[in-house]
Structure 1
C-alpha cells in the first residue's frame, strides 16, 4: 500500500449558516453549552499551533463535516455558532465518510480512485497526566493518505481504526487491511500495521488492541465475499495470522464489536467471538425461523456500552444478543418502497436511532426485563415537510450522531439544512441552514461515553 505524507493546499472560508440538513422538523432552542474562550493564536506549551483554550472552554457540541454530491469540496460546521469553520478540498469526491476512533479526524473514502484522505476536525484533547486538556483549532486537510484499490469498510476499535481495501480480481490486485490510530495521523508514523492477502475480497476487519479479526476468502471461489474469519496479531508494522476460526461464515458481510464480543454477519446467521480463559472462541447464532427466504443480516452496529448488536436485515432490524445466543426482530421496518439509510447508538449506548430513505427518523429506547434487554420504539418523526408519496426525486437524507450529547444530526439535500434531534424527546435542538447541497455527514469532536463501532 502506498502511504503518502505530503503538504496539500487547504482553502478555508468562514461564513454564517442557519438551516437544516438530512431530515426535518420544528425548531427548538439549542440546549445551552459552554462559551468558547479563544486566546492569542500561537504555539502552546506542547507545540500546537492555533487557538488554545482554557480548560472546559471548548464547546462540547463539536463540529459536523458535510460532503456535497459529486464534488470534492467539503464543509466543516461549527455546531454551536452555526457557522462554517472551514471549507476544504479533497483530492477526489468522497463517496463515503467516517470518523476515526476518537472522532478527531474524518475519513474521506474515495472509492473509484482508491484513495483515503483525512480531515482534522480541529477539536481534540490530550492526556496531561492529571487531566485531559482540550484544544480547538481550524479544521485542516491532513498530509496523510492511503492509496490502494477499492477502499471499503472502515471500522473503529477502542484505540484504533481499520480500513479494508478489497483489491480487484480483474486487475489481479490483492486485498489488504491497514490498522492505525489517530496518533499516526498526527505524526507518530510507527502507529500503523497492515495485513496482506493473496487474493481479492469484499471483506471486513475489526481491530481490538494488539489483535485484528479479519476475513478470509478461498481464492478458488467465484464470490468475492469471504467465508471465514482469522485472528491476526500485531508485530511492528504487520500482523501475523495466529488462527483461523473453525466456525464458517458463508457470504460474510458486516461486522461490529462491543466490550465483550466481536461479531460478523453471515448468510446463515452471526458469528460472535469472545475471549475465554485467555483464548478467543467463536460461536454462531443462526438466523431465526421468522426470517423470510433468503433474508440475512448484512450490516451490524455495535457500541461498547451495549451488550447487544443491532443488525439490518433487508428492510427490517434485529437485535443480536450475543450473551444469550439469540436474534430477535425489532418492531420496525423501512417505509414501504424505501430502505435503511443509516443509524447507530447514541454516545452512551442508551438510545439508538435509524433513518430510512423516505426521511423517517425512528428512535429506540432500551428496556430491561431481568437480565434481558429489549429495544422499543420511543419516537418516530418525519424529517421533512413532504408527503411520503411526494418526496422529491433524488432526495438524500443522512444521519450522524454526536459523540458527546444525546443528539442525532440529519441532513436533507432538498431543504439544505441540518437538524439536530434530542434522542430523549425527539425535539429539534439545533437547526442550521446551508448554502450548499448536503449529501453525507460525520460528527467530529471530543467524545464522551465510548466509541461508536460500524
Structure 2
C-alpha cells in the first residue's frame, strides 16, 4: 500500500480553496444552538482561554461526480472552507473521534482525509477544545478498491479489496487520528494472500478481520480471524471456527463484535483479552435468500440494528435473537441509510423516497424493543412525482440529538431533532449535495461507531 505525505505549496493550497468557484451558502436556523453546559461553579464547560469553539460542529458535503467539497459551519452560519479532493469521493466517513473525514475514491484506488478543524486534547484537568480552518490532510492511501471503513474506540480501519484479475491482494490499514496528525508509528497493516470484499473491526491492540479461501469463486469471505498488532503489522492469532458464508457487514459495541453472514450473524465477545464466538441463525420469518447485509452498533446499546433487504432487524447478542422491527418502507423504494444517534437512545432510517423514520428504544423487563416514534417526508413533492435521479442522504450529529438529511433536488440540508422530528437547522445550498458527514467534538469526547 502506498502512503503519501504531501507538502502543498501556497499556490496549490490556494487552488484547492478556489477550485469550486464562488459558490455561496446560506444557513437558516429555526432554533438556537445549544449553549455550553454550565458546571456547578457557574463556568461553562469550555471556560478556558482558547476563544470560541463551535459545539454544533461542521458538515462536510460533497457534490455528485465532482471533487468539490464544502465544509459548513453550523453554529456560525457560514462556509468554513471549500476544498477539492483528487477525485470524486463515492463515500465519506468520519474517523474514530470525528475530527477527520475519510474520502473514499473507490474508482481511483485512493483515500484522502479532510481535517474538519475542530477537536480537543486532554490537558489533565480539562479537555481543551481547538478550532481552525478545515484543510485537506497531507496523508493519503493508494491501494485497489478501498471499501468498508469502520471505527473502533481509538482507531479507524479501512479495508482495501484488491483485484483478482490483476492478482492484487487485499489489505487493511488500521490507524488513529494521531497518525493523520503526523505520528507515523500509529499505523499498522494486515496483508492478505488473495483479494476479497472484506471487513475489519479494530479492537484495541487487536483487529478482527475477514478471511477468504483463494480457491473459492466468490470474492466474499467465509471466515473471521483475530489479528494481534505488533508494531507496524498484525499477526494472525486464530481463526474462529464459526463459518460465515457470504460475509458482508460488521459492527461492534461495548461487549460484542458482529459479522453478518448469509445464514445468520456471528457474535464475537471479548472478555479479559479472550475472544469467543457464537452464531445466531437467521429467523424462520426471513424469505428465501434474505439475509442481513448491513450492521450498525453503538457502545451504549447491547443490540445491533441490521438491514435485511428492505427490512430492519434487531440482533440481540444477549438473548441470541434476531427480530424484525415493525416498520414498512415506502413501496418500490430502498433504504438510503440509517444508524444510531450520538448516545444510542434513538435510531433513524432514510429511504430513497425521502421518508425519514425515527425510532425510540423501549425497555420491557430485561428486553429492549425499537418502535417508530416519528415519520417525516423530507421532500416537498408527492412520492409518485419525485424528480428523476433525486437522492437523499443522512448524517448524525455527534454532539446533539440531530440527524442531518440532504435533498439533491431541493439543494438543501435539513437538521431534524430526533426527539420531536422538528426541523432545527436548514442549510440552503447553491450546489447539488451528495454525500455528507458530521465533524466536530463528540459529546462526552467519545463515541463508538
Measured against the shorter chain, the TM-score band is over 0.9
The answer to whether the aligner puts 1:17 opposite 2:12 as a matched pair is no
For 2:318 and 2:94, how far apart are their aligned partners in 1?
Answer: 28
Give the drift of 1:80: 1.1
Q: 1:320–1:446: structure 2 CA closer, same or farther, 3 Å change rule? A: same
SS in 1 for 2:297: strand
When the two structures are superposed, what TM-score results if normalisation uses the length of structure 1?
A: 0.92
Please, which runs of 5 or more residues in structure 2 have no aligned partner? Answer: 38-46
Give the drift of 1:31: 3.8
Give the drift of 1:57: 3.3
The answer to whether the aligner puts 1:7 opposite 2:7 as a matched pair is yes
SS in 2 for 1:252: coil
For 1:134 and 1:339, how far apart are their aligned partners in 2?
Answer: 40
Give the drift of 1:334: 2.1
CA contact (8 A) 1:175 1:201 kept: yes
Find 1:97's aligned residue among 83, 92, 101.
Answer: 92
Q: How many residues align?
A: 431
For 1:421 and 1:33, how far apart are their aligned partners in 2?
Answer: 18
Find 1:28's aligned residue among 23, 30, 49.
Answer: 30
When the two structures are superposed, what TM-score results if normalisation uses the length of structure 2?
A: 0.93
Find 1:108's aligned residue among 88, 103, 111.
Answer: 103
Give the drift of 1:32: 4.1
The answer to whether the aligner puts 1:166 opposite 2:161 as a matched pair is yes
The answer to whether the aligner puts 1:370 opposite 2:378 as a matched pair is no
Find 2:142's aligned residue among 147, 163, 166.
Answer: 147
CA contact (8 A) 2:118 2:129 kept: yes
For 1:284 and 1:393, how far apart are their aligned partners in 2?
Answer: 42
Aligned twin of 2:376: 381
For 1:379 and 1:71, how far apart are their aligned partners in 2?
Answer: 34
* Moved beyond 6 Å, runs of 4+: none
The answer to whether the aligner puts 1:444 opposite 2:439 as a matched pair is yes
Residue by residue over 1:143-187, the C-alpha shift from the partner in whole angstroms, topping out at 9 and shown as x without a partner, is 100000000000000000000000000110000000000000001
Give the drift of 1:99: 0.2
For 1:384 and 1:172, how far apart are their aligned partners in 2?
Answer: 45
Find 1:218's aligned residue among 213, 216, 233.
Answer: 213
Give the drift of 1:452: 4.2
Q: 1:392–1:53: structure 2 CA closer, same or farther, 3 Å change rule? A: farther
Q: 1:133–1:277: structure 2 CA closer, same or farther, 3 Å change rule? A: closer
Give the drift of 1:16: 5.2
CA contact (8 A) 1:19 1:419 kept: no
For 2:223 and 2:264, how far apart are their aligned partners in 1?
Answer: 13
CA contact (8 A) 1:335 1:356 kept: yes
For 2:283 and 2:222, how far apart are their aligned partners in 1?
Answer: 20
For 1:243 and 1:233, how far apart are their aligned partners in 2?
Answer: 9
For 1:207 and 1:278, how far apart are their aligned partners in 2?
Answer: 14
Give the drift of 1:33: 3.5
The answer to whether the aligner puts 1:122 opposite 2:117 as a matched pair is yes
CA contact (8 A) 1:217 1:227 kept: yes
Find 2:66's aligned residue among 67, 71, 78.
Answer: 71
For 2:229 and 2:132, how far apart are their aligned partners in 1?
Answer: 33
Please, which runs of 5 or more residues in structure 1 have no aligned partner? Answer: 21-26, 36-51
RMSD: 1.7
CA contact (8 A) 2:33 2:75 kept: no
